Amino acid sequence: MQASRVYNGNVADANLGRMTLDHMLDELLEFATDEQGFNVQALTHWKVGEFIQMTIENLAHSYPMSAELESRIAAGAIHDSAERCDAPKCHPDTRVAVQDDLYSWIVDGDAESDQPKKMKWVTGPAGTGKTAIMGSLADRCATNGILGATFFFASWSASIGRRRKTAFVTTIAHQLAQHREDLQTAISTAIEKSPGVFDKNLRVQMEILVLTPLREVVRQSDGPGLRGAIIIDGVDECEAEQYHDITSTGPQGKPDRKNAEDQLEILQVLRAASSDPSFPFRIIIASRPERVFREFFDPENSPTPFAHKLDLHEDYNADNDITLFLEAQFNQLRRRYGLPLSWPPPGAIQTLVKNASGQFIYAATVIRALDSGHREPPKALLEAVLKMGATRETTSSPLGQLDALYSHILESSPDPPLSILWLQAIAWYSNGQAPIPGTLCVAFNINLLLQTDLDSNEVEHLLGNLHSLIQIPPPDDRATAKYSFYHKSLIDFLQVDNRNYCGKLYVNWADVKAFLWDRFTRACASE
C-alpha cells in the first residue's frame, strides 16, 4: 500500500508528512485494532509540497544569544500582533463607560483611597465582551503612550505560547524593554548574568527579567518615570504545563498538573510584582469568574486587600450598548441586502437584547448568521431566531439563549452530527492537542484527515451554513490557511453535554477519536 499527497502542484520528498502521521499514529493507535490492517510502511511514501519543506527549514535556524529574549516570547499574544488582526474590539460608542472607568484608574489610580491598589480584576461570564474591552483599552493606552505590555491568552490558538505560561514573563519583559533604552540594557545585562533564567519558574523570571531591571532604572535614572498599564486577558484559558509523564502509573506516577495551578502561579507572580515599590504599572487581569480567581481576589482571603474587582455582568448594564450595536449592524444589513426601512420589525431589537442577557457574543452571532450568505435570506432567518422563544432549558441557564442559537445554526447543516465531528476535530488540532501545533501543520493535518477523498466540496457542503460560527479558508487556500472559531463559547457548547439541552448535538470524545482514526486510515489507503 502506498499513500501520496500533492499540494501546490509541487512534489518533493519531505519529512513533515512522515513526522505528522507518525505522531498522529501515536495519538490514535489506542483506538485501533489489529483487524484494521494498518500498514505503517505506508507512511514512508508520504510526500508534501516544497513550500512545507521550506517552512520547516526556515524554522530550524537558531537565534544568537543577543536575541535570546526575543526568541522566547509569544508574539501572537501581544495586543497588536498579526495573529490578533481579527480579534474582537468594542463597537464604536459601546462599552464607553467601562473603558473610561478602566482608563481613568490607569491614569489617576486611587487618588482618594488610603490603600491604593495596583491590580484590578475584570470578570464576567462568557460572551460579555471581556476580550473586546481589553483589546480596545490596549489600543487606547498605546495611542496615548501609557501601555506597558499586554498578553492575550487563548486556549484555541495554534500558538502554544498563547496557551501556556512558558512565554508569559518573557513576553512582558520584551515589551517593557521597548519603552526605554536604559531598561532594555538592564534586561539584557540580567540575561547575560543569568543565562539559565528561561528555565526558571515564573517568580524567578519576573524577579530577574522585570523587577531587578526596574530597580536598576529607578536607582540610576533622573528622567520621567515609567507608568501605564499591563493588560492580561484570558488567564482562565491558560493550560497547564506538564513536567512529567502523566501517562505513567504505579507508585512513581504523579497526577497531571491542573490548569488552575498554572493560572494561580501567574496571579501570584503578578501580585508580587505589583507590591514591589519599583514596579510602576497598574495591572488589569480579565478572566471568567472561575473558582481559582474568585478565591484569589476574595478580600476575605487576604489580610490586606490588594486588588479591585469590576464585574461586567453586575456592575454595568450592557443592554444599551448591545442595542447600539444591533441598530448599527441592522443599518448595514439593510443597505447591503436592499431591505426596507421597516426591517427589522418593531420590537425585534428589544427581543434580541433581552435574549442576549448582557452577552455581546449572542448579538454578534445573530448578526454574523444574518450576514453569512449561506442560509435563507436575512428576513427569514431573523424571523426564525425571534420565534425560538423561551423554554425551561433556555431560561434556567444564563447561556440558554446562546445555546439555542448555536443549536439552530448547527442544525442547518445538511448533516449536523458529521459537521460537529468536523468541528470537534478542528478544535482538537487548533487548540494544540494535536502532536505538532502551529498554523501550517494544523491546516495540513485538518485537510489531510478531513478531505480524504480529495473532495473540496465536502467542506462547503457540511460547513457552508456555519460561517457565522467558524472562519473557513477558501477552497484554493485550505492547505495553509487556518480554520478559526469566532468564540470559545462554541467549543464549550460542543464539549459539555449539559449545554446541548436538545440532546441531539452532543458527541462524546470517544466518537471523535474514532472518527479521526477512520479518517487517518482512509488517508493512508488513498492514492
More confident residue, 231 or 357: 231
Q: What does the pLDDT average to over 226-237?
A: 95
Q: What does the pLDDT average to over 98-123?
A: 88
The residue type found at 217 is V
Q: Rounded to the nearest 10 degrees, what angle do helices 360-370 and 400-410 cross at?
A: 20
Judge whether 250 and 187 are in contact, CB under 8 Å. Answer: no
Answer yes or no: is pLDDT of 93 > 70: yes
pTM beyond 0.95, yes or no:
no
Task: Please name which of 6, 89, 85, 23 lies closest in space to residue 325, comparing C-alpha atoms.
Answer: 89
Q: pLDDT tens digits, residue range 135-183?
A: 999 999 999 999 999 999 998 888 899 999 999 999 999 999 999 999 9
Place of cell 505522531: 23
Helices (H), 177-211: 181-193, 202-206
Decide: residue 355, CB within 10 A, 0-12 exposed, 13-18 middle, 19+ buried: buried
Residue 414 banded pLDDT, cuts 50, 70, 90? confident
Phi, psi dihedral angles at 314 (to 5 degrees): -100, -35
Q: Could you tell me which residues come within 8 angstroms of residue 215 by beta carbon, excluding any fewer than 6 positions away?
A: 278
Q: Where are the beta strands (DSSP E) in 158-236?
A: 229-233
Q: pLDDT tens digits, residue range 152-161?
A: 999 888 889 9
All CATH 3.40.50.300 domain ranges of the chain, comma separated, are 67-242+257-311
Answer yes or no: is pLDDT of 99 > 90: yes
Q: Which CATH number fits domain 67-242+257-311: 3.50.50.60, 3.40.50.300, 3.40.50.720, 3.10.20.30?
A: 3.40.50.300
Q: Is 496 helix (H, G, I), strand (E, B) or coil?
A: coil
Q: What does the pLDDT average to over 179-202?
A: 94
